[in-house]
Chains A and B, each alone.
Chain A
């Protein structure tokens, strides 16, 4: 596929042209941070960011989503019978997604598309999504994508990738979907040698800048119950306050809870993000809670990411190295440190 170059001054207009075929999500400055928002006429995209505060997972997997509904109306013949909530899945594109967050979708897909089950909502939305990545010229000190199978310009999980060349973007289609997205954009010229060379240079530069690592090479060979019963968990979990910041910000955390809500005659079955940090997550109807203690919940998060997931799916760890939990954990629990404890145990 041929590379195209877009001048930054024409960039947003070029993107807007693709709105005829796609709903587009772009990073937008939201006070002190960036988040992805739908590109509307009034949106002011801002591609000058490290990464968005919230991962783009909600674009495929909303925090709260109505999945079934019915009317609890005595007159209604379908009374009390839940039906799938009507939805459509128009083509959409996440423009500016970082390679780690795209990698995260690939990690999460293992959960939502198994040999037995296929999550209709997640899958349909994922399949209608084009991931137009933006390579990271300036990875953060908390980024460790390179140690978990990604990289600041890792192309494998993207449909297209953008290289920020100062005054212009070089856009490269990587899949058919990605190529189609670029072709729907306005303007742009085919890339010159100089731009292609510059883009290549960025990759090597950026990879050097990722200095942080997630140590997990020895976790795979460890016996699971041994690690589970390791003596360090309680101490490591001391400062944890069991909030959901890490899990809600994490692009690879997928757990959910299902709630029924009745409002008048309307019955809704809603799926909400849940967090293994909450005691309610595992509270059983009997009152028994297998993860009654804080350290047990804490342990679950790391065991799941670094031991159960890799063992089950043989797909690497359940972490794409974005560093959000490291940066925003209110008490500074650092997955790199915990992985280190597990690795050295």
Chain B
């Protein structure tokens, strides 16, 4: 991780110095454990604040839309796919970007770590050689990073960036033999009542803070459907049907676009597994339209095109 950080700082510095970019977007070390802050630097003398480790779970592509300047940005597998998505959706131009690709081995899930140390207060988390060392008042425990990975990272099939100008390091081997849609299949095996019970329980603690929506780079609409007033599609109180409406539509708006970066789930203060909605859509996009979001710049997203012989069996 240290080498990555060094390289990021170096690259950012020279890009800014040479005037190749106006701003460089990365992360800086956070003020609480397992939390790094998305960070933009334009002063080449401040690039030493940039930082990288397995706590960079927020998606940086959030910060790309509506910008007209030239931007340097770091991008691991999923983030790079969101860049591609932004490009094909005309949110940013490829020429505006200098992408420093990051072969990625996944992000640490703070929830998993807290669970692993039985909710004792954590004061520091360090990483070395694929291990995670968790320290707190009167304890120190070591875990294999693979055991405390974010769920989407554990299931990730594209750890290496798909688009970049330069890589910080050699590519990492992609994970093999992974069952990406295990959760979805589990739900698919349930009956309707059980499914409804599962999802209503899952979102019952939702406070409609919209962190899941706002953490997602796909949500860049000027006016979100939740804010529409005439007609009002979804009420603003914490009525369960309104909350469910929000979740269905938020997920649906990500149909064929979601890269499973996990930012939504990571952002949720209530620990709601909102990816359960988007994962189903990802699975269907793959099965029905052979589509994985953000893999290619030269193909339109699935909801933007059609084929004459598309799946038709559900229609009478």
- Chain A residues close to B by CB (< 8 Å): 30-33, 35, 50, 53-54, 63-64, 138, 140-142, 235, 238-239, 241-245, 247-249, 257, 259, 261, 270, 272, 275, 278-280, 326-328, 330-334, 336-337
Contacts and interface: CB of A to CB of B under 8 A. Distances in A.
B51 to A, nearest CB: 12
Given A141-B123, A331-B58, A243 B267 contact: yes
B37 interface: yes
B111 A32 contact: yes
B185 interface: no
A53 B270 contact: yes
Interface of B: 30-32, 35-40, 58, 62-63, 111, 114-115, 119, 121, 123, 137, 205, 207-211, 213-215, 227, 235-239, 263, 266-271
Contacts of A330: 58, 211, 215, 263, 266-269
Contact of A243 (B30, B39, B215, B271): B215
Contacts of B123: 141
* Dominant SS among interface residues on chain B: loop
A53 B31 CA distance: 19
Contacts of B269: 53, 245, 248-249, 328, 330
Contacts of B111: 32
A32 to B, nearest CB: 5
Given A238-B40, A330-B267, A332-B32, A243 B237 contact: no
Contact of A244 (B58, B114, B210, B263): B210
Contacts of A140: 121
Contacts of B36: 332
Contacts of B239: 64
B71 to A, nearest CB: 13
A69 to B, nearest CB: 13
Given A63-B237, A238-B38, A330-B267, 13 more contacts: A32-B115, A50-B121, A54-B207, A63-B238, A241-B58, A241-B62, A243-B209, A244-B209, A245-B211, A248-B269, A259-B236, A259-B237, A261-B237
A179 to B, nearest CB: 33
14 contacts: A54-B207, A63-B238, A64-B236, A141-B121, A243-B211, A243-B215, A249-B269, A270-B237, A278-B227, A279-B227, A330-B263, A330-B266, A330-B269, A333-B37
